[in-house]
Structure 1
Amino acid sequence: MSNVPPVETRTGLRANVLSGFDTVVMAIAGSAPAYSLAATTVTLAGTAGLIGPAALLWCAIPMLGIAWAFNYLGRIDVNAGASYSWVGRALHPSLGFLAGWSVVASATIFMVIGSLPAGQYTLSLFSDSASNNKTLCILVGAAWFLAMAGLVLLGARITAHAQWIMTGIELVILTVFGIAALVHGGTAATFSWSWLWGWGHFGGSAGFAAAALIAAFYFWGWDVTANLSEETSNSRKNSGFGGLIGVVAVFALFEVITIAVNIVVSQTTIADPNSAPVLTILGNSVWPGVGGKIMVVAVMLSTIATLETTLIQVTRSLFAMGRDKTVPAAFGKSHSRWQTPWVAIAAVVVVSLGLFVASNNFSNVNKILAHGFNAIGLQIAFYYSLAGLAVVVAYRKLLTKSLSNLFFIGIWPLAGALFMGYTFVENLTTLKAADIEIGIGALALGLIPMIWYWVKGSEYYRSGAVRLDATASDEVDALYGESTLATSSSGPSDTLATDI
């Protein structure tokens, strides 16, 4: 067993402040159902047409495999860095750092492409002309961003309470209006089961991969529960379980609303840049004149909520990296009172606001706004695929102990990893150059701190560092068993790790 410092000396985050219910709420909020639908339905329709629901289905299945991977990796390593720690200790430190960096890069890009809509949707509740004023939208979006940063600074407990309100209202609105739209029906198209199957309509492997990349962006964010593991009670169980429930819940919402949009809104209208937002049209079809505004409220709350969860993901990742001295050690400092990574929060706020304000003036940042979804999709596929491989390696000696282990810890996560890897590689050959430049360029920037701190001798890269191996927990069973050590943990744990 490696000589690892006690948990108390390695963590500065407040332990046991989130419950299992909190993790489910955070997972749903992280995926931001209303925002994802509002922001990417047009893009998905342009790629997949009426079979958008099929793209979401075929992405949800491997995505659940990745959620299972996060679930079981979280049982043997409770760490705010999540995939950064797991991939680094199961596969290779350099891959782990790049997995963590992809979280940082994708989250930073999202801060830019998410804050502007927050301002737009807020202003659209009061004035259409105001919502078209880009400068005003930037100011309001920046105000929301700073408010969410303030909540994240004050701690996970306050953050979770805010999510109860915002995400709760969002889910009620989406569920009621989605079901009502299905019952009410529409004239745009007649429902077909082919919308859920889709084979033969994607336009070949390239078309399928393009649709899958967009669908991956829909789901992204549920894994914030893993980054909150050090602050979650009974985290070995609750963090992973919350992510699994979150994926299933948002998938159901995505399917209901996407099918409703197909029925109510014609493909021509969706493609028309001058038409009203699709969710506004959907809302007005259920409740003319009022429903559209209510849907705008859902999107506004969803956008604000996901800014908060994305801030958590990036700052907890940077905190874990700073703690390991793979980025400046200051990022690993926590606030003495609130026990939150205040240096990481401050750095992300400064960088994001700088990019956000600059987007009003510089074309290169406008390019980030225009191509951000695909760029983030590449980064998501990258670190999800590595996490799927990591769980198979970490549990390799236990996969044949039961059929449930083989399926839920081996086959399903591996299939998810291969799917994400395929999506990543296929899109590298078909995406526009700008998408690749932003997505891969942001990842490549991570090589600078990786090489710098590797050369400086960070313990994280030491060849004899502690590695993940689930063998010590030989009672883990995917369906029926619990790890003998699966108890509440308040910090990064190496209990189930060995030197290999």
Structure 2
Amino acid sequence: MGNGVELQRKLGFFSVFVIGLSLLTPATVFTIFGIASQNTNGHVPAVYLFSVIAILFTVLSYTHMVKVFPRSGSAYTYVQQTFHPNLGFLVGWGALLDYLFLPMVYVLSVAIYMVPLYPNVPEWVWIVGTLAIITLSNIFSVKVAVSFSTLLIALQVLIAGIFIALLINFYLVNEGAATLFSLAPFYTEEFTLTNVFAGSVILAYTFVGFDAISTLAEETIEPKKNIPRAMIALVLFLGVLYTTITYFMQRAFPDVTVFATPDSAVVEIAIQVGGMFFNAVFTGIVIAATFVGGIAAQLGTSRLLYAMGRDNVFPKKIFGYLHPKSHIPIFNILATGVASLPAIFITLDTASSVISFGAFTAFTAVNLCVIYYFLVKRKRKDGKALILFGLFPSIGIAFLAVMWYNIEPLALTLGIAWNLLGVCFLIYITRGFKKTAPSLDFNPEETTKKVKKYDDSVHLG
């Protein structure tokens, strides 16, 4: 493996869970509320419930595959080992688009908050400075990154609790206690299926990135147990948190047209319920949250690059290298930091739109992996298997089909162009498909034992 050094298993369930929270950034729920409320006709909590249930089917597919292949690489590894190394490369290449642009989103978010506060400082200074802090946090150690993230995650959860309390107080003062709890945010006569689909496309963005924790499989203690648990706990925790927050936001402010623009709704809400001081504190914590997200995003990207470098898809001496003392892919972290520098020249909207293409590619591929691996290759035909490995992934794919249909045209164009470039690179490394793409050789006997053990656990469980 590269220089003969392996990733060290230092992360337990809580650490993996925190990294997942860092990447998904709970504070995101505040910034998209205005747009989501407009698109759902005032039913954000209802659509969040739908989105959580829908995304859980894809989460379950990831948990199945990580138990069979507990390695770095996520969807890239699963497709490579399930279908073919060439397909694995193309899925990994497509997912890489998501992973490379995700750190840019957080870097640009910091700049957007800081530029109005310090208008005399050039925007590129904030972008480069943020990248430097994120990169240094990941270079020191995974544990350092987790510790830093834990502190900032705690602040996000704290501010969310305060925000909910202020929203309740605001409603009680203006409307009274009698109507605080109502079904209106979940269902009214104006609520339609169109609202559900339009809103779910937006709200699903807040769950994009949960899969990145599967790239930490080789740094996690008991990965076949802790990573699946962390994935499910992450989505359920955020689903409850997001639904609760948006319920009280929707109850206190059912009509977002009263605000100057939907984008700025959270700022005006924060000022109305808590005053200027609370808004200042709230903004500060949101900025800190973007740093946390950037750290976690870069962490996941460097591990995907490591998996592809170890397989010698990318130069192994660089991308498959681990520092002999810290056991982290230091060159990949530096490369990811450099790759994020184009954020100086692009907008947040552009970076955000591109992420969806890579994420949906990986999600769709993993659901297909479950169906093919367990029902075709393993020939599981019992009732429980048909539900777990057939029906559930198919529901996940159906939900993703809606997402694909509603994807931004710019994201689709850039995604197709990126994948065409990947095909050209695949042709080069396979010498015109005369050989297969490089892949990690699993021990067939060991893998068979793992799969049989997992099959047995599913039968008995």
TM category (shorter chain) comes to 0.7 to 0.9
Q: 1:196 aligns with which of 171, 180, 186?
A: 186
Q: Retained in 2: the 8 A contact 1:381–1:421?
A: no
Q: Retained in 1: the 8 A contact 2:96–2:358?
A: no
Residue of structure 1 in register with 2:438 after alignment: 460
Q: Does 1:119 align with 2:130?
A: no
Partners of 1:53 and 1:385 lie apart in 2 by 25
**Structure 1 gap segments, 5+ residues each:** 1-7, 360-364, 482-500
Residue of structure 2 in register with 1:376 after alignment: 355
Give 3-state SS (helix, strand or coil) of 1:446's partner.
helix
Residue of structure 2 in register with 1:393 after alignment: 372
Query: Structure 1's 199 and 479: CA in aligned 2 closer, same or farther, altered over 3 A?
Result: farther
Q: Does 1:33 align with 2:37?
A: no
Bigger drift between 308-317 and 283-292 goes to: 283-292
Q: Where does 1:263-278 land on structure 2 (aligned, <5 Å)? A: 263-265=251-253, 266-270=255-259, 272=261, 277-278=264-265
Query: Structure 1's 163 and 283: CA in aligned 2 closer, same or farther, altered over 3 A?
Result: same
Q: 2:290 aligns with which of 303, 308, 314?
A: 303
Residue of structure 2 in register with 1:4 after alignment: none
* Percentage of matched positions with identical amino acids: 18
Residue of structure 1 in register with 2:45 after alignment: 53
Q: Retained in 1: the 8 A contact 2:429–2:437?
A: no
Q: Which has the larger helix fraction?
A: 2
Give 3-state SS (helix, strand or coil) of 2:238's partner.
helix
What is the one-letter code of the residue matched to 1:373? S
Once the 2 structures are TM-superposed, how far is the Cα of residue 326 of structure 1 from its aligned partner? 1.9
Partners of 1:240 and 1:463 lie apart in 2 by 24
Q: Does 1:321 align with 2:305?
A: no
Partners of 2:156 and 2:234 lie apart in 1 by 14
RMSD: 3.3
Count of equivalent residues: 449
Q: Retained in 1: the 8 A contact 2:79–2:88?
A: yes
Partners of 2:423 and 2:260 lie apart in 1 by 39
String of CA shifts for 1:204-244, please: whole Å, max 9, x gaps: 4xx65443322221111222221111001111110111111
Residue of structure 2 in register with 1:185 after alignment: 171
Residue of structure 1 in register with 2:401 after alignment: 421
String of CA shifts for 1:378-398, please: whole Å, max 9, x gaps: 322221111112123222247
Partners of 2:423 and 2:457 lie apart in 1 by 38
Give 3-state SS (helix, strand or coil) of 2:32's partner.
helix
Give the TM-score of the pair, scaled to structure 1: 0.80
Q: Does 1:477 align with 2:451?
A: no
Query: Structure 1's 52 and 13: CA in aligned 2 closer, same or farther, altered over 3 A?
Result: farther
Q: Where does 1:84-99 land on structure 2 (aligned, <5 Å)? A: 84-99=76-91
Partners of 1:173 and 1:477 lie apart in 2 by 41
Once the 2 structures are TM-superposed, how far is the Cα of residue 161 of structure 1 from its aligned partner? 1.1
Bigger drift between 279-288 and 65-74 goes to: 279-288
Bigger drift between 233-242 and 182-191 goes to: 182-191
Residue of structure 1 in register with 2:391 after alignment: 411
**Structure 2 gap segments, 5+ residues each:** none
Residue of structure 2 in register with 1:3 after alignment: none
Residue of structure 2 in register with 1:154 after alignment: 140
Partners of 1:462 and 1:155 lie apart in 2 by 25
Query: Structure 1's 464 and 99: CA in aligned 2 closer, same or farther, altered over 3 A?
Result: same
Query: Structure 1's 293 and 371: CA in aligned 2 closer, same or farther, altered over 3 A?
Result: same
Q: Retained in 1: the 8 A contact 2:3–2:320?
A: no
Residue of structure 1 in register with 2:17 after alignment: 24
Q: Does 1:69 align with 2:57?
A: no
Query: Structure 1's 452 and 249: CA in aligned 2 closer, same or farther, altered over 3 A?
Result: same
Bigger drift between 438-447 and 319-328 goes to: 438-447
